[in-house]
């Protein structure tokens, strides 16, 4: 049995108090929300904070506000809240589909949106017990000096494995970061670095307080996830796509984001641009799929063969765009075990 290391515990009731604690205690204090990632990581000694500061009693972080001109989702809203609430449809479908495919129902009941956006990067050489990692002399991400995926690399290539980040990036989301010294709002896309260790631009004293979305009127969105088991598994490749159509059916705006193919979700800007002003014909879809796949550079540090995962990128972009133009893709999704049952299709 793997045991947790000893730690101090704080449970503030307001965001102000939480920001003061985090700002006052330094980087050995970490926020904890659902704990579904951080606690297993602590058991494996990948992360060893001296103090955990729970965010679960901060009422403000559990609020959801829909409205015009946009919406605000508190960081401690659970993934079940998002997956099961019918208001997360139409423009927000990609987010609901991403949340519904994280882990298992029990984990989604605990797991929060903020925790999912701040999820640690993953790698076959890192997500192992302390003894396993010690036996290979550790790795660059934790306690070692060599990246065992790319031994010549000075940069850690652990993979961004969050499901909701690509979906929210495709929806143009921003996040509000709160600290003792104030607050700032940044584009979600600017929250991430392509670096397996320093994968976030969030400072250790900042709390991700909420996700902010502009009006998604007229947008349609979808999320496609590759994993070995439909019941639960981290993504090893994902595609989020959002499109706004003009009255004549041409694409007015589009965003395609690729997840789990680098240390951060990747924006396929060229593919998105290639769609603007055109209808979603097979030619336009093929062109966008080819351009998007060029952006994805999966490495050999997750499940499945890396060259195949790159090919799947093009297939998923094409499937996502066909779905957004109105094709019925249910049978295709079910054949990929994307959902354990048809009931989760929306």
Ligand X SMILES: Cc1cc2nc3c(=O)[nH]c(=O)nc-3n(C[C@H](O)[C@H](O)[C@H](O)COP(=O)(O)OP(=O)(O)OC[C@H]3O[C@@H](n4cnc5c(N)ncnc54)[C@H](O)[C@@H]3O)c2cc1C
Applying CB under 6 A, the residues found at the interface with ligand X are 30-38, 40, 55, 75, 79, 102-103, 107, 110-112, 114-116, 118-120, 161-163, 207-208, 232-234
Q: Which of residues 40 and 218 has its CB atom nearest to ligand X in the complex?
A: 40
Q: What element of type H or E holds 116?
A: helix 113-117
3-class secondary structure for 256-305? Answer: EEEECCCCCCEECHHHHHHHCCCCCCHHHHHHHHHHHHHHCCCCCCCCCC
Task: State in angstroms the smallest separation of the CB of 18 from ligand X.
Answer: 9
Please tell me the distance from the alpha carbon of residue 320 to that of residue 92, in angstroms, as a whole number.
Answer: 14
Comparing every residue's Cβ against ligand X, the nearest one is 115
Query: Tokens representing 196?
Result: 């397996």
Closest CB 306 distance from ligand X, rounded Å: 19
101 neighbors 82 (Cβ within 8 angstroms) = no
Q: In this structure, what token pair is assigned to residue 189?
A: 């896309």
Nearer to ligand X, 79 or 243 (CB): 79
Q: Closer CB to ligand X, residue 71 or residue 101?
A: 101
Q: How far is the CB of 225 from ligand X (least distance, A)?
A: 8
* CB nearer to ligand X: pick between 25 and 120: 120
Residue 13: DSSP 8-state: S
- Decide: 102 and 164 in contact? Cβ < 8 Å: yes
Q: In terms of CB distance, is 159 or 318 closer to ligand X?
A: 159
Nearer to ligand X, 56 or 297 (CB): 56
Helices and strands (H and E) in the chain: how many = 12, 12
Please, which residue, 81 or 323, has the CB nearer to ligand X? 81
207 close to 75: Cβ distance less than 8 angstroms: yes
CB-wise, 75 or 284, nearer to ligand X?
Answer: 75
258 closest CA partner among 170, 181, 157: 170
Orientation angle between helical segments 306-325 and 282-295, nearest 10 degrees: 140
Alpha-carbon distance 211 to 215, whole Å? 13
Cβ 252 to ligand X, closest distance in Å? 30
Q: Is-contact 282 275, C-beta < 8 A?
A: no
* Residue 282: CB minimum distance to ligand X, A: 31
User: Dihedral of the CA atoms 340, 341, 343, 346 (nearest 10)?
Assistant: 60
Instruction: Quote the least distance from Cβ 146 to ligand X, whole Å.
Output: 24
Nearest distance in Å: CB 218, ligand X? 28
Distance of closest approach, residue 55 Cβ to ligand X, in angstroms: 5
| CA dihedral over 48, 51, 52, 55, signed as positive or negative | negative
């Amino acid at each position: 049995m793997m045991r947790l290391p000893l730690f101090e515990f704080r449970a503030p009731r307001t965001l102000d108090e939480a920001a003061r604690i985090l700002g006052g205690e330094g980087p050995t204090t970490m926020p904890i929300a659902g704990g579904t990632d951080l606690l297993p990581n602590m058991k494996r000694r990948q992360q060893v904070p001296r103090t955990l500061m729970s965010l679960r009693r901060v009422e403000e972080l559990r609020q959801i506000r829909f409205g015009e001109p946009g919406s605000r989702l508190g960081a401690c809203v659970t993934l079940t809240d998002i997956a099961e609430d019918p208001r997360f449809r139409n423009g927000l479908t990609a987010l609901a589909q991403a949340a519904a495919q994280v882990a298992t129902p029990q984990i989604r009941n605990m797991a929060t949106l903020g925790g999912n956006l701040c999820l640690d990067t993953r790698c076959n050489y890192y997500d192992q017990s302390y003894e396993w990692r010690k036996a290979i002399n550790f790795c660059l991400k934790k306690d070692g000096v060599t990246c065992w995926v790319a031994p010549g690399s000075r940069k850690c290539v652990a993979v961004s494995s969050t499901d909701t980040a690509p979906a929210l990036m495709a929806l143009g989301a921003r996040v509000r970061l709160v600290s003792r010294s104030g607050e700032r709002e940044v584009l979600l896309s600017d929250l991430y670095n392509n670096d397996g260790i320093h994968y976030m631009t969030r400072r250790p004293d900042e709390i991700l307080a909420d996700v902010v979305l502009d009006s998604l009127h007229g947008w349609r969105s979808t999320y496609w996830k590759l994993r070995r088991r439909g019941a639960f598994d981290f993504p090893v490749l994902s595609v989020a796509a959002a499109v706004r159509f003009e009255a004549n059916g041409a694409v007015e705006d589009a965003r395609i984001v690729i997840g789990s193919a680098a240390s951060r979700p990747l924006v396929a800007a060229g593919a998105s641009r290639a769609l603007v002003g055109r209808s979603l014909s097979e030619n336009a879809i093929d062109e966008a799929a080819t351009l998007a796949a060029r952006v994805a550079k999966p490495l050999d540090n997750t499940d499945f063969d890396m060259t195949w995962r790159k090919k799947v990128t093009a297939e998923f972009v094409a499937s996502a765009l066909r779905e957004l133009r109105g094709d019925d893709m249910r049978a295709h999704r079910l054949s990929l075990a994307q959902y354990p049952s048809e009931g989760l299709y929306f």
